[in-house]
Each structure stands twice: as C-alpha cells, then as structure tokens.
Structure 1
Amino acid sequence: MPDFKDNGRTYYNPVEYAMHQIGGTWKMPILWRLNKQTMRYSELKKYLPHISHKMLTTQLRELEHNGFVTRTVFPVVPPKVEYTLTDKGRRAIPVIATIRQYGMDLMREAGIDPDEVFKRKT
C-alpha cells in the first residue's frame, strides 16, 4: 500500500490513520462517554478521574479539530461548555465497542474478570 500524507504527517495504512484520529489512552473513553449524552467538561472529568485537566483539554481539542465532537459555549457566567458527538464521532462508536469487547475477551483470557474490575459505571 502506498503511503499518504495528511496535515504534514505521513501514514502507511488506513489503520494507522484511524488510530491517530481516535487512538491513545483517552480519546476512545471520551467518545464512549459522549455516546450516551452531551456532557460538560466537569462531567467528563468526573467519569475519567485518572485524566489530567491538561490532557482532557488537549484530547477534546483534538477530537473537535478532527470533527468527532462539537464544542458549544453558552454565554453565561460562569462559562458553560458542552461537548457532543458529531455524526463522524457516532460512526466511531461501533469500532470502539468492538475494540472494547476484544479487550474484555483478552482480560478474561488473562484471568482478569472484567465484571469485577468494572463494577463502577463504564
């Protein structure tokens, strides 16, 4: 397969390109949470307690820049900002669900019970 460029970066296959868009530790969990509902920044932070404020901000900006989420700012004091999945973001959800299920299958194979690990909301 020939390589290709997007925004000055070279990619060697479509999987690499897709993973650059939604991969990493935090992008898929953010998209997964937004699949259920529109959320404010503080709500996302609450459901992803291990992410730093800086990382959450960075990841949300990248997801917005790449068209996976929309950011709506309400002109109130204090400022109110909401994040919502776009159609492009919704199309990523079945992919994330498949990867999530595969990860849980791998956990079971390793002797880790996902039901026990994820007693909290996921």
Structure 2
Amino acid sequence: MLRDRNKHSMAELLSFPTIGALLLRGAEYGAFLVQFLRWWESRGARGGGALPVPDPPERDERCSRYLNRCPVCLQAWRIPTVLPVSGYIFCYMCISRHVRQAGECPVTHLPAAEDSLVRLYLQ
C-alpha cells in the first residue's frame, strides 16, 4: 500500500501542469540571470578609469577673426548657414557657391557637399 502511494504521488509530480510550471519558473530565473549578467558587464565597462580625459583643442585664431562674420565675404551673415563638416557659419550664397565650385570648406579645406548645408535661425 505504501508503494502504491509513492507511485501515485510520483505520477502527480510529473504531470503536465507541474512540468509546465517548473519550465516557466526556470525561464523566468534564466531571463533574470541574463539581465543580471548584462548589467554586471556594462557596469565594468563604465568604470571610466581606462583612459584619461584629453585636453580641449587649442583655440584657433581664425575663430576670433570670423566672429559674427562670413569667412568668405567678411560681412555680417546674410541667411546664416553652417557647414557641419567644419562648424563655421557662412552666408548661404557665399558657402553654397564655394562648395559647389570647390567641393570643400573655404576655411578648413575639409571635403564638403552642398546638400550638407544647414540653415540657422538666429534671433
């Protein structure tokens, strides 16, 4: 009689709902473990002690020369437009003409395209 009870309770333990619940619980713990390991690795990557912060770049004398003026016509900006490759602000007509003809920034001589020009709306 005792053997029949052990067999019966073993059959109950191995039923589909019990196995399904165990698999679901295992998947939950597995997902938590994966998230924990990703967090642990990203925490080590953010350590920050790997490389020192570099010094800021030296201020270029051209910056003060072209302050609030177009580097091409040397006048106040008319339709201010930035050339993203260099960061300088020009008159739209000046920079579009120069980039169309030369294909580069007139100040830094970095390659540029006319479709990369960005209009600025200054107050």
TM-score tier by shorter-chain length is under 0.3
What TM-score does the superposition give when structure 1 sets the normalisation length?
0.22
**Which structure features the higher share of helix residues?**
1
Which structure has the larger Rg over C-alpha atoms? 2
What TM-score does the superposition give when structure 2 sets the normalisation length?
0.21
- Report which structure shows greater RCO (CA 8 Å, sep ≥6): 1
**Which structure features the higher share of strand residues?**
1
